Amino acid sequence: MKKILDLISEEMMNAFEAAGYDRELGRVTVSNRPDLCEYQCNGAMAGAKQYKKAPIMIANDVAAKLTDSAVFQTAQAVAPGFLNLVLTDAFVGDYIRGMRAEEKYGVEETDRPQEIVIDYGGPNIAKPLHVGHLRSAIIGESVKRIERYIGHHVTGDVHLGDWGQPMGLVMNELKARSPELVYFDESYTGEYPAEPPFTVAELEEIYPFASKCSKEDEQYKADAMACTYKLQSGVRGYRALWQHIIAVSVVDLRRIYDNMGVTFDLWNGESSVRDLIPGMVEEMKAGGHAYISDGALVVDVKEETDTKEMPPCMLLKSDGASSYATTDLATIKMRMEQNHPDALIYLTDKRQELYFQQVFRCARKTGLIKPETKLVHIPFGTMNGKDGKPFKTRDGGVMRLENLIREVYDEMLRKITETRGAENEEARQTAETVAYAALKYGDLSNQASKDYIFDIDRFTSSEGDTGPYILYTIARIKSILAKYVQDGGDLQAVYSCIPAPSTEGEKQLMMALAKYNACIEAAAQEYAPHKICAYIYELANALNHFYHETKILAEENAEKKAGWIALLLLTRDVLETAIDLLGFSAPERM
């Protein structure tokens, strides 16, 4: 379905042409003076020079061609040469009926579906998720859903950090605590136990402990590195123990991500590409791209037009160990072979911006990808506390993601119980649903690259630009619909009976709805969930305005009432679809 703005522009362009002017001048925009008009066209001003005429004369000529337009109720030329536009009720009503008839409310799926791999989440085995992992999961999940919605084939990969030094630290500490474990007996040739020798709680305690020890004790650090080496070089017992660490950790990670509504198609990790690294490095050497510099193997990625420093991409450190970049490059190689992607998308903190530039250039230069393969890094800003500094716990530590979620949940439950008077199972379930919406909307409503402040009072408020406000609006619609049914109304029967708007509030609501396909298209093209947040906020405001000025259920004219109910149904469907693209859902009631 065409975008409403395009239809309006077409009508205006035809008028410019009919009046003897260049059609291109007829582009229309949303009014920046909503008190005066709904849309506007500034083409007459732009054309003044070309036609050596006062803009108002052009505007008058064009307006004269629109006197019986089916699109514009009024097209008024005003000094110095604007065209102020108000749409006809019939045009708006027709457009909304058209939206209702389409499965995706006027959004057209792409005619060139792409194969996309999106790398997000990025948790590290044996380390608890912390607030730093929140944004990657939330934004990545939403981008995945949006791209899928417009018809791309998207594979989400969690890209576990499962192969580096933290593994050695955990194993070294396990060895110190239980040296008798069979995994450390290098002469052992039998089967290893199926049960892990630790719980997830123990694992989580072990990692920070070991990490602290290695900072204080050189020998400890050396021993941990030796463990990493043994793991990476394939010592049986270490590999078996590592498998346990992964298995235990992944169960826990899945649980947390599942609760958050974040799901991955692939649970690959850095370790998945370990066998690809030597071959890839050899190819890069043979291709003349990789060379030794200060003992390390590097690839230059500087370009002539660079204005800032661009260090080379390091493949092997001087001790022969591969680096973070090597893993990412080998992962690109693997994805190219397995998924044949048209685009690879990464979500990380913006502090990794330069890093991804290096990796992308290296991948392109060394031919790991095809010339037409798109590599996209979506960098995000930091979640800060109210002091404007990266969010910390009260005692200044890194906040665990689960604790953060718990805090939002507790606050939501407190608010819900306060209004309902009692805490029960339904209140707890509602609080959980709303808490995720509060947290996710609080995050996604900001442009990803910007830092934002985690403000629990604001995020959980049912007023203003918040997740709970959107959910309250949906709940309000659902409650009206339920009453309509209780009074004997039939939702199926009224479903598509949307008439032309008869009140201002109704028209405003329809015009807000009508922007849906344009919003989704922009969000998909720019990987920008915040555009969907801005859209649903505007839509929710329009709905609430309409609700406050209209006595819907008390309306005596059954046909009129049915039309309003149909409009509410469409608004509910659009809002629920949009929040699903953001990765959260609405409870039946609040």
The site map against ligand ARG for 347-366 (x = CB under 6 A) is -x------------------
CB of 127 to ligand ARG, least distance (A): 8
SS3 letters across 19-41: CCCCHHHHCEEECCCCCCCCEEE
DSSP of 144-182 = HHHHHHTT-EEEEE--BB-SSHHHHHHHHHHHHH-TTSG
The pair phi, psi for residue 343, each rounded to 5°, is -145, 145
Spatial CA neighbour of 241 closest among 278, 265, 276, 206: 206
Q: Which range touches ligand ARG (CB under 6 A), out of 58-66, 118-126, 208-216, 441-449?
A: 118-126
Q: Looking at 38, 252, 328, 443, which residue binds ligand ARG (CB under 6 A)?
A: 328
Return the number of the residue (93 or 121) whose C-beta is nearest ligand ARG: 121
Return the number of the residue (65 or 159) whose C-beta is nearest ligand ARG: 159
The site map against ligand ARG for 440-469 (x = CB under 6 A) is ------------------------------
Degrees (nearest 5) of the Cα angle 493, 497, 502? 135
Angle of the 425-444 helix axis to the 401-420 helix axis, nearest 10: 120
Q: Which range touches ligand ARG (CB under 6 A), out of 116-124, 244-252, 305-313, 364-372?
A: 116-124
Q: Tell me the CA distances in angstroms from 400 to 127, 204, 450, one per residue in order.
A: 10, 11, 22
Is residue 341 close enough to count as binding ligand ARG by CB under 6 A? no
CB of 325 to ligand ARG, least distance (A): 9
Helix or strand or coil: residue 312?
A: coil
Helix or strand or coil: residue 10?
A: helix
CB of 255 to ligand ARG, least distance (A): 19
The label of the residue with tokens 């720019």 reads: 526
Q: Looking at 47, 81, 122, 499, which residue binds ligand ARG (CB under 6 A)?
A: 122
CB of 399 to ligand ARG, least distance (A): 15
Is residue 124 close enough to count as binding ligand ARG by CB under 6 A? yes
Residue nearest to ligand ARG (CB): 122
Return the number of the residue (147 or 328) whose C-beta is nearest ligand ARG: 328
Degrees (nearest 5) of the Cα angle 330, 332, 333? 60
What lies within 8 Å, CB to CB, of 16 at 6+ separation is 22, 23, 25, 26, 43, 62
CB of 131 to ligand ARG, least distance (A): 12
* H-run or E-run covering 440: helix 425-444
Q: Which range touches ligand ARG (CB under 6 A), out of 117-125, 428-436, 462-470, 481-489?
A: 117-125
Q: Looking at 72, 198, 220, 346, which residue binds ligand ARG (CB under 6 A)?
A: 346
Return the number of the residue (55 or 164) whose C-beta is nearest ligand ARG: 164
CB of 112 to ligand ARG, least distance (A): 26
Task: Please give the Cα distance from 106 to 135 (Å, whole number).
Answer: 30
Helix or strand or coil: residue 377?
A: strand
- For residue 483, is it left (φ>0), alpha (ψ between -120 and 50) or beta? alpha
What lies within 8 Å, CB to CB, of 309 at 6+ separation is none
Q: Which range touches ligand ARG (CB under 6 A), out of 42-50, 105-113, 119-127, 294-302?
A: 119-127
The label of the residue with tokens 């607030």 reads: 131
Task: Please give the Cα distance from 183 to 242 (Å, whole number).
Answer: 10
The label of the residue with tokens 């027709």 reads: 94
Is residue 162 close enough to count as binding ligand ARG by CB under 6 A? no
Size of the site for ligand ARG (CB under 6 A): 8
Q: Looking at 38, 61, 119, 223, which residue binds ligand ARG (CB under 6 A)?
A: 119
CB of 359 to ligand ARG, least distance (A): 8
CB of 254 to ligand ARG, least distance (A): 16
Catalog residues that contact ligand ARG under the rule CB under 6 A.
119, 122, 124, 159, 161, 328, 346, 348
